[in-house]
Chains A and B, each alone.
Chain A
Amino acid sequence: MLLEAAGISKIFGKLTALDGAALTVGENEFHGLIGPNGSGKSTLMKCIAGAEVPTQGKVSFVNADITSFTPTERARAGMSLKFQITSVLPSLTLYDNILLALQAQSSLLDLVFSCTRGLLHDQVMTMLTQFRLAERAFDAAAALSHGQQQWLEIAMALAGKPKLLLLDEPTGGMSLEERRVTGELLQPIKKHCSLVIVEHDLDFIRDICDRLTVLDQGKVLASGTVSEIQANKSVQEIYLRRA
């Protein structure tokens, strides 16, 4: 297994956000994390990415225990996160946003003497082209539409060639057309990367994911292939109950 999170609990003061949640993701697997609002999806993502430290539980990644790794160490191990709130760097150009992500693991001397930017140029343009942003390469990221900023952010998250990409609500605030394109943009990465995706749009999830995990009140309600989950009575119930 690429990622194994087991027995994850996270307690904020009196609030138990996660109560023994678990998630396993295999190689080249697209895994959807769904559940009603407040079920702990984002918290679980943050515990996996290192933005939060779980109160209890263990996270293993590529057979190593990374529970106490910092975000930097996790990134260097091959994990990448796209935040729920877009955090592209607005005053930098799109080109520089991608370059910033690509050069993250260059050595200090390479950075000071700008040794790698010539080599990385083609990769920057390939990423921008792949995410349909090449025409705007030299605009400031702040000038992009919300949907385009999300794509830029996904491109940045993929730049370091991660083994696992964590996407927290990538289609939030997107139009239908933008959602469709996002799905298309994500398909090709399956060849080299696994995906954990938190999303409210169930149609979108159904289209691109292999397996689903359903969280409810900090616990795993069900986990399985898309068709298994769709047939699951208790899952239908929580969605009907809250609909």
Chain B
Amino acid sequence: MGAAKQAVHADVGDETDVSVTESAPIKRSSVRKVLPIVEGVVLIAALLAPLVLQDYLTVFATRVIILALFALSFDLVWGYAGIMSFGQALFFGSAGYGVALLARDLDITNILLVLPAGTIIGLTFALLLGGFLLLGRHPSSVIFVSLGTLTGSYAADRLARGWYYLGGQNGIPSISSMTLGGYEFSEGPAFYYLVLGILVVVYLLCRFLVRSQFGLALAGLRENEQRIAFFGYKAQHLKAIIFAIGGAIAGLAGSLYAFHEGFVWPNMVGVVVSTQVVLYVLFGGSGTLIGAVIGAVIVEGVSFWLSDNYRDIWPIILGLLLLLVILFRPLGLISFVLGERERVGSFGATRKEKQNAP
């Protein structure tokens, strides 16, 4: 570099600023920041919803928010790390069953106990299954992992159906409400805002994670696992970790779901729910957190509306809609507003991080 050196600042992506010592100015990539706007709009809509919705719709909206939380767990695992988990309901449902048993047999309904318990159940099952499926000495194939998780979910479904202690086919009915001190969380706005608050916190934690250097490693994992192993990454460990985090979030969602619905039943650990969450994420847009949330809201919302208005043929309409989106918008609905570059994002150091560097 013989030419006079000058520092050039280039703004790239969100919060990323990179100063460069270079003689030629670096082209600014013109990334419109759509993502924060979408996130803001969704948050405001979610905050206002109970004010305009009738009571029974608030109950429905609460269920949708819980399912959106569940969708986040699958999005981390598939959309960010490229692990095809067809058994995400295993963690969702087992946590639901776990907290239902706590409430039924031990009378534990305190929110400060049941939610951590559900999270830990999801985490534990994901560690066990993920350890088995992902932690071989050599990388496991996508088919092996998807069939393994599918089998896990199917087996759990059969087990729950056959196990008398878990209520067999009928599941565990009439779970008492979650409590905090003397307060009971029954269906309604309080439950809604509790769930929304949890979703926002988990969302922000996920956002922090996927934009960190760990998130960059996940992007490498998703795009070319073999390549990053040759850099010296312990690719299998990364996969097992993100799989476990996904399991923990699914567990949290499952325990909320159990208390909100007031019962758990074998479907909740089975293949149908596992597939449902895949559809949410594909529909909304995998690899973006907000896509998972939007997918859950739209799929559930549309099914609700269709089943009200087209009582007989609504599943066919829904199926066609899903097919259309997946065929023509493989990156999901979010890709209508979000460009590829912003979806993938940038991971470089922020200005503050560079100033702190010696």
A residues whose Cβ falls under 8 Å from a Cβ of B = 49, 51, 70-72, 75-76, 80-81, 83, 87, 89-93, 95-96, 99-101, 103-106, 108, 110-122, 124-125, 129, 134-140, 156, 159-160
Least CB distance from B249 to A in Å reads 16
Complex interface bits, B125-145 against A, C-beta within 8 A gives 1, otherwise 0: 000000000000110000000
| Residue pair A72, B12 in contact (C-beta under 8 Å) | no
Complex interface bits, B21-50 against A, C-beta within 8 A gives 1, otherwise 0: 110101111000000000000000000000
Alpha-carbon distance A172/B235, docked complex (angstroms): 29
Least CB distance from A96 to B in Å reads 5
Lowest 3 A-B CB distances belong to which pairs? A118-B353, A75-B232, A118-B357
Residues of A within 8 A of B112 (CB): none
In addition to A93-B29, A113-B212, A129-B1, 17 A-B residue pairs with Cβ atoms within 8 Å of each other are A72-B229, A83-B230, A90-B223, A91-B219, A95-B12, A100-B217, A105-B232, A111-B212, A112-B212, A118-B354, A118-B356, A121-B349, A125-B21, A134-B26, A138-B12, A138-B28, A140-B340
Alpha-carbon distance A124/B18, docked complex (angstroms): 11
B residues whose Cβ falls under 8 Å from a Cβ of A = 1, 10, 12, 18, 20-22, 24, 26-29, 137-138, 209, 212-214, 216-217, 219-220, 223-224, 226-235, 237, 241, 340-341, 344, 346-350, 353-358
Q: Can you pick out 16 interface pairs between chain A and chain B where the beta carbons lie within 8 Å of each other?
A: A75-B230, A76-B232, A83-B227, A87-B224, A89-B224, A92-B219, A96-B219, A104-B232, A112-B212, A114-B213, A117-B353, A125-B21, A137-B18, A138-B10, A140-B340, A156-B231
Least CB distance from A53 to B in Å reads 10
Least CB distance from A104 to B in Å reads 4
Alpha-carbon distance A111/B209, docked complex (angstroms): 9
Given contacts A99-B347, A110-B213, A121-B348, contact A75 B354 (CB under 8 A): no
Least CB distance from B121 to A in Å reads 23
Least CB distance from B356 to A in Å reads 6
Residues of B within 8 A of A113 (CB): 212
Name which of A71, A108, A110, A120 has the most chain B CB atoms within 10 A of its CB. Answer: A71
Partner of B27, one of A106, A110, A129, A135: A135
Least CB distance from B239 to A in Å reads 13
